[in-house]
Structure 1
């Protein structure tokens, strides 16, 4: 056996330390890369990603992604995603934006109705209506990640069914979010539109009768919350354009505030597109 010298021990220790450092750096690099991709929080960068519309008459528009955003929202995550979809990003609080709305009221409902009205005769075969931020609690995903929700969407199912909510989990909205007849009789503050404790259900029955004249107001309304869904042009056109114009006029003229009016429309979409009141 060769004798162990001090210099040999020193070299061995240095090599050991070097190996440990390299291993740690590799682990940190791999973990950092994974965290950057799957972070449950949005990027601190801001800006709105807007693809040019191009000449609609020269394109075959199969899928349009309609995004309801505000100027502060970060929509840049959409730039490199879903290359086969046309992305139309409406900015509700910027009247000079390429795509905007008549008035910033009714939350995403104003965007969705404006797109349908302005493009009624030239809608894509499938239209996906979505909010702007990549990470938000109402995305039906373990990381609340919008890209993963959209990537799992089965377009063939939408084409077959005509309509689908992007949220499947029952909380919030199911099995019974609003009881129109009961809540119409609710006392203040639930029925006081000026109160912070006002509930959309208190005003749902009257709104339903105005928006869907001749249709019986259901006893119970239930659907997964949050107004993100996909629908076909064929299903949209089962109603005349004048219906959607009436819905938007109601949003513009109602004395209900942004939150209450938007929530009423939120729990009307599935009925507008032909689904049962409890869906």
Structure 2
């Protein structure tokens, strides 16, 4: 099973020593600039979506059979009480491998939203300054249409709302590399996430990896 799974970690100054305890191959993409271990350095832009898409674009032809995408400290989102652990994550990964699931979000909850990402926390006074996009809606419908050239569904169910999920290499490659390059350009055009492009992708991972070939476009200019 170890050779089947690769864990891709989007780190920003978190302690990622826990990764070794998973027992799987892993790679750390570091945006904090203070990581002393072996890591791939990236500019601190675009939230974790930038990291994930960068990995897919670079490794497209050599992706692992199962790819697990997580942030540097993912555990609060794995359990309703915030008691997730490396053991929790490892058990979730094992279940995905055992069942052969092509995609699985690991957050303990799912979200439903409209085309503006509502309901969301972008207008709450207590969150002012937490995100560059505070005070703006999340352009879920707009990003959906840019990615797929189609109208989004009326209600969108986010099955990986915190950006923690597993997806097979086979499922990733149901979309061409050009799709991910285009998605990466969208993120890079909003480097501070002031327009909440990265937040929108958190609501759309299950659509990106749903294997619907009819949503593939002929070009991604």
Q: Which residue of 2 is the match for residue 38 of structure 1?
A: none
Deviations 1:65-91 (CA, angstroms, capped at 9, x unpaired): 111101x21111223x132x1110110
**Bigger Rg, which one:** 1
Q: Which residue of 1 is the match for residue 153 of structure 2?
A: 218
For 1:95 and 1:182, locate their aligned partners in 2 and report how far apart those are by CA, in whole Å. Answer: 34
Q: Do structure 1's residue 260 and structure 2's residue 196 form an aligned pair?
A: yes
Deviations 1:102-124 (CA, angstroms, capped at 9, x unpaired): x3222111111111111000111
Report the alpha carbon displacement of residue 92 of structure 1 after superposing the two structures with TM. 1.8
CA contact under 8 A between 2:60 and 2:177: conserved in structure 1? Answer: yes
Looking at both structures, which has the greater relative contact order when contacts are Cα pairs under 8 Å and sequence separation is at least 6? 2
CA contact under 8 A between 1:127 and 1:233: conserved in structure 2? Answer: yes
Deviations 1:17-69 (CA, angstroms, capped at 9, x unpaired): xxxxxxxxxxxxxxxxxxxxxxxxxxxxxxxxxxxxxxxxxxx9421011110
Match of 2:55 among 101, 105, 115: 115
Residue aligned with 2:175, SS: coil
CA contact under 8 A between 2:171 and 2:211: conserved in structure 1? Answer: no
TM value normalised by structure 1:
0.62
CA contact under 8 A between 2:77 and 2:108: conserved in structure 1? Answer: no
For 2:50 and 2:156, locate their aligned partners in 1 and report how far apart those are by CA, in whole Å. Answer: 21
Unpaired segments ≥5 residues, structure 2: 125-130, 213-221
Q: Which residue of 1 is the match for residue 104 of structure 2?
A: 164
Q: Which residue of 2 is the match for residue 129 of structure 1?
A: 69
Match of 1:208 among 144, 148, 153: 144
For 2:70 and 2:102, locate their aligned partners in 1 and report how far apart those are by CA, in whole Å. Answer: 17
Q: Do structure 1's residue 197 and structure 2's residue 135 form an aligned pair?
A: yes
Q: Which residue of 1 is the match for residue 7 of structure 2?
A: 65
TM value normalised by structure 2:
0.77
RMSD (Å) for aligned C-alpha atoms? 3.0
CA contact under 8 A between 1:90 and 1:100: conserved in structure 2? Answer: yes
Q: Which residue of 2 is the match for residue 237 of structure 1?
A: 173
For 1:182 and 1:88, locate their aligned partners in 2 and report how far apart those are by CA, in whole Å. Answer: 31
Q: Which residue of 2 is the match for residue 139 of structure 1?
A: 78
Do the aligned partners of residues 242 and 181 (structure 1) sit closer, same or farther apart at CA in structure 2, a change above 3 Å counting?
same
Do the aligned partners of residues 104 and 181 (structure 1) sit closer, same or farther apart at CA in structure 2, a change above 3 Å counting?
closer
Residue aligned with 1:108, SS: helix
Do the aligned partners of residues 62 and 251 (structure 1) sit closer, same or farther apart at CA in structure 2, a change above 3 Å counting?
same
Residue aligned with 1:262, SS: helix
CA contact under 8 A between 1:104 and 1:110: conserved in structure 2? Answer: no
**Which shifted more, 246-255 or 114-123?**
246-255
Residue aligned with 1:67, SS: strand
